[in-house]
Amino acid sequence: MQLIYEQSVAGRRGVKLPKSDVPTASALPTSLLRKEKAGLAEVSELDLVRHFTNLSRRNFSVDTNFYPLGSCTMKYNAKVLENAATLFAPFHPMTALLPGGVDFCQGTLGMLYDLGQLLADITGMDEVTTQPLAGAHGEMTGIMLVSAYHAAKGNKAKKKYVVVPDSSHGTNPASAAIAGYEIITVPTASYGDMDLELFKAAMTDEVAAVMMTCPNTLGLFNPHIKEISDIAHSHDALMYYDGANLNAIMGKVKPGDVGFDVIHVNLHKTFGTPHGGGGPGSGPVGVKKALVPFLPQPRIVMDDDGKLLLETDNKGTIGRTANFFGNFGVMAKAYAYIIMLGREGLIQVSEQAVLNANYIKEKLKPYYDLPYDMTCMHECVFSASKQLEHGVHAIDIAKFLIDKGYHPPTVYFPMIVKEAIMIEPTETESKAAMDDFIAVMIEAARTAESNPQALHDAPLTMPISRLDETKAAREQHVCCTG
């Protein structure tokens, strides 16, 4: 397809702008002006609409295709959530920050406060900040809270390390590094979780925090989690919960009850807000009481009369992590999702997410190697090692699935599983949709044996075939120069 810039015709316009009803201002000094106008597209409204509509048709999406993308929780995004978010479009965030301005924003501040309360109950935490803008931003905020906690106890210099399992998301160590920590990585044991003995050996009083995803990225609930948490606490290390996999456990277990002190929640995974082709997400952070004094500001608090206020003068705060109150529009959708499903609905979400993952696991087990063969939570991780005997890699299976109309599962993550294929169906897929997917996965396994080349050649039905990624990295052609 042509780029929009390749369709440009000088003088063409996509929208009619308001006419000026005031006098023309005096000209700015030439030294402050740009020499040439920015080379934006010049297209008619219809050209624009066709271009972006046709571009959109070159995407797979949840609304058009099954998306069993492990670790990403690509569930269906209810349409009423989109409608709900638009209700808040006109509200300027600065209004709340004006002197006396909170009186004019009680609805929006109240919703953020209530969302915090609901998330605190779901996760077993004492208070939640809604400021972080995505999961990794929440991780960074959470680990900064950990750092502030240790600093307040006079232990900032002593606490140097953050411990992560080798199966962790890459954002965990990357976020901890921004908060100033060095990383200790603990390998996974044969039972599919962080090796308990190696963990014990790694733990010293210099460890500031242990970051865990639970269930972990293999989709397994760590049976030793309480023991790990007790050991961490015995060294005055705090327990950090990566909420990426929260969809598995709502109403079943609360991270706060297990000993976690800080948690981030991905609203765009568990709470039904769309991923937008790479954001916006939202990553509220929940904490236990001991960390409340360090929460980002402005902090939304409620006075005795039920009025929402902004706390801006707390000396202990880690500061501001984003310009305003977080991704409000995303939070409006998540709030609507939670109140619509309610207590029973969210329990059902986790139950059926776990049911669906175990169903697919059992059905595909005869065809794909399952390195950790046990009851999984909301996702399961296979290896394409059997297929590799025929020269077929996980990526080949992924591309074959694209030809069949399925977004591929997450491949090559977690890195501890060779040729990993990580499947998370989510609760919103029907049995029929999963059965069709299972049939195609079996077909892929059979094709790997009978005709491996067919898998190497896939995909053939898309607008493009496999792309030369080396060329892209070498040439670094990242903007249209025409």
- Give the nearer residue to other proteins in terms of CB position, either 47 or 389: 47
Q: How far is the CB of 250 from other proteins (least distance, A)?
A: 8
Q: Measure the CA dihedral 476/478/480/482, to 10°.
A: -20
Q: How far is the CB of 193 from other proteins (least distance, A)?
A: 10
Interatomic CA distance for residues 387 and 326, integer angstroms: 45
Interatomic CA distance for residues 356 and 333, integer angstroms: 25
Token duo for residue 5: 């810039």
- Three-state SS for 369? strand
Q: How far is the CB of 467 from other proteins (least distance, A)?
A: 5
- Which sign does the torsion angle of CA 213, 214, 219, 222 carry? positive
- Give the nearer residue to other proteins in terms of CB position, either 178 or 389: 178
Q: How far is the CB of 252 from other proteins (least distance, A)?
A: 5
- Give the nearer residue to other proteins in terms of CB position, either 99 or 389: 99
End-to-end alpha carbon distance in the chain: 15
Interatomic CA distance for residues 404 and 46, integer angstroms: 32
Burial call 400-427: b when 16+ CB within 10 Å, e when fewer: bbbbbebbbbbbbbbebbebbbbbbbbb
Nearest to 410 by CA among 269, 218, 279: 218
Instruction: Strand 238-242: give its sheet, edge to edge.
Output: 127-129, 285-287, 262-264, 238-242, 207-213, 161-165, 182-186
- Give the nearer residue to other proteins in terms of CB position, either 195 or 242: 242
- Give the nearer residue to other proteins in terms of CB position, either 289 or 449: 289
- Give the nearer residue to other proteins in terms of CB position, either 199 or 406: 406
Q: How far is the CB of 280 from other proteins (least distance, A)?
A: 4
Interatomic CA distance for residues 235 and 252, integer angstroms: 28
Q: How far is the CB of 76 from other proteins (least distance, A)?
A: 6
Interatomic CA distance for residues 339 and 342, integer angstroms: 5
Is residue 300 a contact partner of residue 112, using CB atoms and an 8 Å limit? yes
Nearest to 458 by CA among 404, 389, 381, 380: 404
Q: How far is the CB of 239 from other proteins (least distance, A)?
A: 13
Q: How far is the CB of 389 from other proteins (least distance, A)?
A: 24
- Give the nearer residue to other proteins in terms of CB position, either 57 or 200: 57
Token duo for residue 91: 């509200």
Interatomic CA distance for residues 382 and 70, integer angstroms: 11
- Give the nearer residue to other proteins in terms of CB position, either 312 or 449: 312
Q: How far is the CB of 237 from other proteins (least distance, A)?
A: 17
- Give the nearer residue to other proteins in terms of CB position, either 452 or 459: 459
- Give the nearer residue to other proteins in terms of CB position, either 89 or 389: 89
Measuring CA to CA, how many Å separate 189 from each of 35, 210, 291, 416, 429?
63, 17, 32, 10, 32
Q: How far is the CB of 430 from other proteins (least distance, A)?
A: 5
